[in-house]
């Protein structure tokens, strides 16, 4: 029995549909927060879970993490609560030099 062209493409389309459905539930989010200069270690910055509309359990299940741009990890994420806290004190001059604004 000879298959028509539309029938030959069905398995490929089904796979594509499954991939779209799986990937559609995943997304990357970018959030920006202000941290006072030289904030003490352990200072609360924000609750990321709340800001993203997730629970701490969802953050943990999705393996949420912080990705620093430099070599130091200045912030720490508690995956259970969603709290973002200062891990290491930041120095504006060290991070940005004389550039304005310092982001």
pLDDT for the residue 42: 93
- What is the C-alpha separation between 58 and 52, in angstroms, rounded? 10
Q: pLDDT truncated to tens, each residue of the chain (103 aa)?
A: 555 544 444 444 444 444 444 444 555 667 778 888 778 999 999 998 898 888 888 888 988 888 887 788 889 999 889 999 999 888 878 878 887 777 6
- What is the C-alpha separation between 13 and 18, in angstroms, rounded? 9
pLDDT for the residue 74: 87
Residue ranges of E strands in 1-103: 44-47, 75-77, 83-86
């Amino acid at each position: 029995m000879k298959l028509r062209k539309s029938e030959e493409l069905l398995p490929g389309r089904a796979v594509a549909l499954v991939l779209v459905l799986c990937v559609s539930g995943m997304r990357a989010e970018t959030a920006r927060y202000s941290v006072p200069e030289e904030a003490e270690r352990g200072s609360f910055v924000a609750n990321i879970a709340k800001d993203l509309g997730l629970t701490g359990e969802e953050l943990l299940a999705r393996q949420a993490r912080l990705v620093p741009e430099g070599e130091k990890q200045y912030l720490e994420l508690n995956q259970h609560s969603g709290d973002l806290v200062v891990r290491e004190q930041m120095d504006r001059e060290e991070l940005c030099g004389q550039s304005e604004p310092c982001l």
